[in-house]
Amino acid sequence: MATFSNSLIQSWERFYRANFINSLTGFKSVSLVGTADKTGQTNLGLFSSIVHIGSDPALVGYINRPRNAAPHTLANIESTGVYTINHIHPSYLEKAHQASAKYPAEVSEFDEIGLTTEFEKTITAPFVKESRVKYALSLQEIIPIPLNETYLVIGKIEMVKLEDNYVSPDGFIDLHRADTICSNGIDSYYLTQPVGRFQYARPGIKPLRID
């Protein structure tokens, strides 16, 4: 087994280090974040740092890079208070990856990459029509992380749209059946292979499979 110290990692060329550190933390819930500005100009960004914060209230967070590196999504969320998160599937993975390119603010990534906006009456941010699992959020809090000038953006789930045959009798959404893509590192994408679901764990009791 190889050991890498902080000072060794620090000495690496920056792209090598970015690949290494970005992939170290494990598989990620990569998704497309849909927003619009106050004039209705739509924007779509690729984010892989989506994190479950809580179920009651239903809160979801994501890490936004420093403002100069990824300005449009955050600015739209701040000005309208609403955004959507859309799962990615193999049929448009290449388009989704392309949403990570730096387009100017006046360009909609939907047009550039060839995905379709979809609107719900009460939600001013666009969903991705092609996505099978998607949800809209209302901004609750933007928490600055001064350590590296990033932000934890937290929203409350306002609406969920999905093909409901993915929902199990106990509420679990079977994302494997939905062909939801996950990612690792900066540029690597995966489908999943189910290994098992287990009973709620209690001390001294071997957890049974429930699938």
Residues 53-92 that bind its own copies (CB under 8 A): 53-61, 63, 85, 87, 90
Residue 186 near residue 22 (C-beta atoms within 8 A)? yes
**Residue 136, Cβ neighbours under 10 Å: how many?**
24
Contacts of 173 (CB under 8 A, 6+ apart): 133, 162, 166, 167
Specify the DSSP class assigned to residue 81.
-
Cis check: omega of the bond before 57, within 30 degrees of 0 = yes
Q: Of the candidates 54, 24, 61, which has an alpha carbon nearest to the alpha carbon of residue 140?
A: 61
Q: Which stretch binds its own copies (CB under 8 A): 1-9, 35-43, 70-78?
A: 1-9
By the rule CB under 8 A, 49 interacts with its own copies: yes
Give me the least distance between CB of 60 and its own copies, in Å please.
6
By the rule CB under 8 A, 22 interacts with its own copies: yes
Q: Which stretch binds its own copies (CB under 8 A): 24-32, 36-44, 71-79?
A: 24-32
Give me the least distance between CB of 76 and its own copies, in Å please.
19
Pick one of 23, 81, 142, 177: the residue that binds its own copies (CB under 8 A): 23
d(CA 170, CA 123): 28
Nearer to its own copies, 38 or 68 (CB): 68
Give me the least distance between CB of 211 and its own copies, in Å please.
7
The CA-based angle 54-55-61, given to 5 degrees, is: 40
H/E stretch holding 111: helix 109-113
Nearer to its own copies, 24 or 78 (CB): 24
The CA-based angle 89-182-99, given to 5 degrees, is: 65
Binding positions for its own copies, 127-156, rule CB under 8 A = 132-133, 135, 140-141, 143, 145, 147-148, 150, 152, 154, 156
Nearer to its own copies, 40 or 90 (CB): 90
